[in-house]
Structure 1
Amino acid sequence: MSTQATVRKGRKFDQVIDGARDIFLRDGFEGASVDEIAREAGVSKATLYSYFPDKRLLFIEVASAQCGRQADEAVLSIDTSRSPREVLSQAGHKFLGFLYSEMGQRIFKICLSESERFPDLGQQFYQSGPMIMRRVMVDYLSAARARNELQVDDIDLAADQFAELCKADLWPKLLFGIQSTVTEAEITRVVDGAVDTFMARYGV
């Protein structure tokens, strides 16, 4: 099933998205009712259903928009003229800040739970945010290598390795319910470790 084929744009589309975002953040995916979303958006249920015949489609549209905004903000806030250690630290904090946010966790869980019935949900989410961040990291690592600030042969692999290093420790604990929240201090500890490990391997 393709979200692109079933989501219709219209005059009140953005209004519906804004209202749905507030309700999903407040009540989660399962707890969010179509009645509440329509009321918050200031539209009729008929109007909402004309845009989104399935609540999952509405959620992934909200999630993708939110993820895209986060990615755009991260890209604009990262000063790629700085040293690798500084840029990697900035990128790591931005990446984990969204990944461990309430919306980030809900996006991941719904994409995982609906992956068989709606395989394109995860693909759309990935393209709207993670892929943008990965492209920025690949471009930065290439530029840093050209400036002789890093020694990297496989740029794509290095970008993926850094992302995985940033998920160490905290991600599996959240995934398996060992802990439900993450503090800034915990994020800093993991990002600092990821940067140290990455620079030990690729630093000049």
Structure 2
Amino acid sequence: MMKKAATKTTTERSKTELRTELLLDRLLDAATRVFMEKGFDATSMGAIAKQAHASTETFYRHFPTKEELFERVLLRRTEFLKGELNSVLLSEDVPEKALTAFGELGLSLLLAPQALSLHRILVMEKGRFPHIVASFHSQGPQRVQAALASYLAGQVKRGRLRKTNTHVAARQFFDLVIPEFHFAMELRSTPAPTKAEMRQRVKEAIDCFLHGYGSTG
């Protein structure tokens, strides 16, 4: 009997946790949409609650302040980006294949409207919330580059790349692919590049990268 009771409690707890996760996803989806549309200052917890079809009390129970909610929205986005980009860095794939997948996916994700909107808000609020900027950077770009560096280190061991500081190499590849398009869209409001333009940019970056880091063996 005690065993059955314990199993039932565990099941009930699991159902409760699942309901909470689904609720948090709904709240964060709504918060993301409203922040993107209105920015940080013009967004109210009430507006987000209305968008999520939830009470403001529900929001405050899970997110005591708008600042904490915004940080959670950003970190949730970084978790998604990390998962997607890490998934294409397969150790068995040769550098040209893995870097092509990483570069093209990275461009499509980082130049997406949601990513650009949240980044603009982050830049606008960096003076007020420097800890959020630091958290975003450490949980997002730094970890993505660390994953790329780890992949490159594996390729060095396989003899596919020459020995080098793979953290520097990862940063350099990232810089070859992302900044120009990102800068153009953020500051000059140019249209998003086409898939063909993104493929060409990644190809050029890989040609340059492998010219410097490719194995001579």
Aligned partner of 2:77: which letter? Q
Whether the 8 Å CA contact 1:28–1:106 is kept in 2: the answer is: no
Aligned partner of 2:63: which letter? F
Q: Name the structure 2 match of 1:39.
A: 50
SS in 1 for 2:39: helix
Tell me whether 1:131 sits opposite 2:142 in the alignment: yes
Q: Aligned match of 1:113 in 100, 115, 124? A: 124
When the two structures are superposed, what TM-score results if normalisation uses the length of structure 2?
0.79
Alignment partners' CA distance in 1, 2:67 and 2:198: 30
**Which protein is bigger by CA-based radius of gyration?**
2
- The alpha-carbon distance between structure 1 residues 140 and 98, as it changes in their structure 2 partners (threshold 3 A), is same
Tell me whether 1:21 sits opposite 2:32 in the alignment: yes
Whether the 8 Å CA contact 1:65–1:128 is kept in 2: the answer is: no
Q: Aligned match of 2:167 in 156, 167, 179? A: 156
Alignment partners' CA distance in 2, 1:119 and 1:169: 25
Quote the sequence identity (%). Answer: 25
Alignment partners' CA distance in 2, 1:95 and 1:13: 26
* Structural RMSD (CA): 2.3
Per-residue deviation, residues 2-43 of structure 1 (Å, max 9, x unmatched):
xxxxxxxxx554442132234345x25256543331012222
- The alpha-carbon distance between structure 1 residues 80 and 183, as it changes in their structure 2 partners (threshold 3 A), is same
Q: Aligned match of 2:151 in 140, 144, 154? A: 140
Alignment partners' CA distance in 2, 1:62 and 1:54: 13
Give 1:63 deviation, angstroms. 2.1
Alignment partners' CA distance in 2, 1:146 and 1:66: 32
Q: Name the structure 1 match of 2:98.
A: 87
Mind listing any 5+ residue stretches in structure 2 that lack a counterpart? 1-19
Alignment partners' CA distance in 1, 2:106 and 2:98: 12
Aligned length: 194
Alignment partners' CA distance in 1, 2:148 and 2:202: 15
Per-residue deviation, residues 82-126 of structure 1 (Å, max 9, x unmatched):
110111111111221221111211222122111111011122222
Q: Aligned match of 1:55 in 54, 66, 71? A: 66
Alignment partners' CA distance in 1, 2:158 and 2:26: 46
Alignment partners' CA distance in 1, 2:122 and 2:77: 15
